[in-house]
Structure 1
Amino acid sequence: MTEPDAFDRPGTTPAPRRRRPAFAGPRDEIDVPPLDHIAPTLEPPWRNEDTDTPDRTAVYHHPDGHRIGLRIQPRGLAIQTWITAGPDLPPIPDGTDIEQAEAQAANDARIQPGRTWHAVLTTRTSKALAAALGDLVHDHLIPALTHKPKHVSTSTTTDEPQPDATTEGPAI
């Protein structure tokens, strides 16, 4: 019988290590208050509909068929918001050619019937989620019904004061 060599493999095979890929970021999770506590209050004729998960989703309905939806994304890193235009465009009034052209241009500039417009609120940087969510709904979603923006700007709100652009920084 041969004597064991000190450099031989051990008798058991080690368990393979599970590693996450280098490009995968840390698995953050943010504790977001329930959506039914931070959802904005919309003035009539908007009304809040009951949902199966009021802590994670909120839906508003307008008599003209418009709908606004809010949803907290998994891990609480963002709140997805959207607005869907109702089924009908405002009618083009009878009048002069100029009035009809202006009414047609206004209809062309808005979200078309059945189309949806999205915006996202990141929750990582905001401490006043209720105010930021209300501003997003009132300043971005509802105005899109009458004048669709050219692009969606990412709204990253911070509660810290921003440096003034008119002051000069240190000389390099």
Structure 2
Amino acid sequence: MSAKFNSLVLSACLALMAGLAHALPPALAQTPALEVLGKGTMRWFGLKLYDAALFTPAGAPWQAGAPYALELRYARAFEGEALARSSGDEIARQGVPQAEIERYVELLRGVFPDVAAGDVIVGARRADGGASFWHNGRPVGRIDDPVFARRFFGIWLAPTTREPALRRALTKEGR
């Protein structure tokens, strides 16, 4: 094999590995520094939907009232509308009134873009309690409602989540 071919293969492998690394948007790489606490995969009837990673302040356990970020790396394409509606359905499971669900879905329609396989959406719970969102590192919106943020992130992180194994993998609780 030629040295040029080997160099191309090495470059391609490094690029692929870089794409798999967890990297928060630059706006989240501020004090306090956030580090991956836990990772897991969401599957539905055996189909991989996304890989998730929970970021917390360096060395700190997950706390619902502290800043943190949740990264979802999609394994398949979804329309933003479907993401907003399914988020609303999951929030409804928390016993939230329908009028609030409709308001939340409308807010999420303004935040969630269509995603392709490999796309990343990061949602962050800010210190003020609100939520900010990024798609592939670019800001796509913020929702300045702490109750919304608690309910939204509760989809994955509340004790009543539909996916308790994913919650345990993300938060490292119960291990």
TM range, smaller chain:
under 0.3
Q: Please, what TM-score do these two structures have when normalized by structure 2?
A: 0.27
Q: Please, what TM-score do these two structures have when normalized by structure 1?
A: 0.27
- Kindly name which structure, 1 or 2, has the bigger radius of gyration based on alpha carbons: 1
- Would you tell me which structure has more helix in proportion to its own residues? 2
